[in-house]
Amino acid sequence: MPAENLPETSTPRVADGRSRTPRRVAVIVGLSAAVAAALAWYGNRHDFYDLKIYLSAMRWWADGNPLYDYSQPDVVQGTLYFTYPPFTALLLRPFAALSDVATATIFTVGSLLALVVTTVWLVTPIARRRGLPRWWLAGLAVPLVVLIEPTRETIFLGQINMLLVVLILADLLFAVPKGSRWAGVGIGLATAIKLFPGIFIVYLLVTRRWRAALVSCVAAAGATLLAAAVLPAESWRFWTQELWSTERVGRSDYTGNQSLQGLLGRLVAPDEPSRLIWLVLVAVVAGYGLWRAAQAVRAGDELAGLTLTGLVAALIAPITWPHHVYWFVPALILLLDAALRQRDGSDSTPTAVPQPDGPAARAGVRAAGLLALAAGSFAALVFGVVSLIDWGHDRAPTDDPVTFLLRNLYVLVAALLLVSLPIRRTPVESPR
């Protein structure tokens, strides 16, 4: 088409886009600098504590000692052990030959890359729908994701959680919706590495993705059998003894345990919580949360479905450390997206009786409520449960409302989100 026949709006849009780019870059740089300064002030208070346990266990094992005999004293838990399945030990064993600095560098860079990639996946549909560059939206989101305590704990402890998140999100955002023959492999491998992601196999079952659920089980079993073939003694010991030794995973009443069992333990400490009450709560939360997840998938909102499932896992697991709860990240993105859709009127349902001002006003109120919930949840995650308050090491009950709130912050936020997380009922774009 000749230049003179181009629509009149073409040139102004390009010029406007180019003029906005420096400002967008400046905002991202400024935000990133502010977050970097906050993290520099906070410092790496954990000094890759968990990663050093992995490395010590691997070196102990490489010296010819039984892997699951490894233990070391800890001021909070008393004694710490290597608690991962044998398949994870196979993956970690090569790091025994590397220095602590080299391994910490690999884990930190890997976690940060995984955070960037997964955040791009999550914000791409929003950027596409709103006509924004995804680099711009991701550039705003990544520093904020790094700032929250679950992410800080993952990086500064040297945890492997972000590897699991990449496997799960790749499966549930791409392979499963496309009906790929590989759908389920990522979840299966994540489950073989750490048992926590096994809840997503249940999610596949309740959402009737039978083939993906079967593939997940086969992948998890295949990785586990591979480890058993290479490490028969370690595998036998883990699956018959260590998996069932609850004292190896840590104190349930410790503030860092942000699960329902942790909440109950803190109410009655130093006594043990009622197992029956915990099992009833687990059944109610799992049933309700997975029912909502299935509703989300039927409405076409895959992200809401997998996010609800992650929140269920955090609540019902016996031990949920802050670095386990990545699933607050997609929850915050869902809240913001739903608020924007309410404001635009793209997520509203027609009313039977026309009301000229009613629906728009109600949509505005709902949008404000969603934004308030997102802001409150984000503030709670930045403050955290173990970063800024030293709760001590004694087994002490929660004896006042403020202490109860602060010591159970993630449990309460996760429960609130399980009930109130919106399901976007109009077509939701894939991040592809």
User: What does the pLDDT average to over 189-215?
Assistant: 97
Q: What is the pLDDT of residue 354?
A: 43
pLDDT tens for each residue of 47-65:
999 999 999 999 999 999 9
Q: What is the pLDDT of residue 346?
A: 60
305 within 8 A of 293, measured Cβ to Cβ? yes
Q: Is the pLDDT of residue 214 over 90?
A: yes
Q: Is the pLDDT of residue 229 over 50?
A: yes
Alpha carbon distance, N-terminus to C-terminus of the chain: 31
Q: What is the pLDDT of residue 352?
A: 40
User: What does the pLDDT average to over 18-33?
Assistant: 88
Please identify which residue in the block is written with the tokens 């609850």.
Answer: 246
Q: What is the pLDDT of residue 349?
A: 43
Q: Is the pLDDT of residue 9 over 60?
A: no
Which helix (H) or strand (E) is 79 found in, with range?
A: strand 78-81
Q: What is the pLDDT of residue 350?
A: 40
pLDDT tens for each residue of 279-320:
999 999 999 999 999 999 999 999 999 999 999 999 999 999
Q: What is the pLDDT of residue 8?
A: 40
pTM over cut 0.85: yes
Give helix then strand counts, H and E, for the chain.
19, 2
Q: How confident is the model at residue 108 (pLDDT cuts 50, 70, 90)?
A: very high
Q: What is the pLDDT of residue 2?
A: 41
Mean pLDDT, the chain, rounded, equals 90
Q: Which stretches within 231-301 are classed as H helix?
A: 232-240, 260-268, 275-298
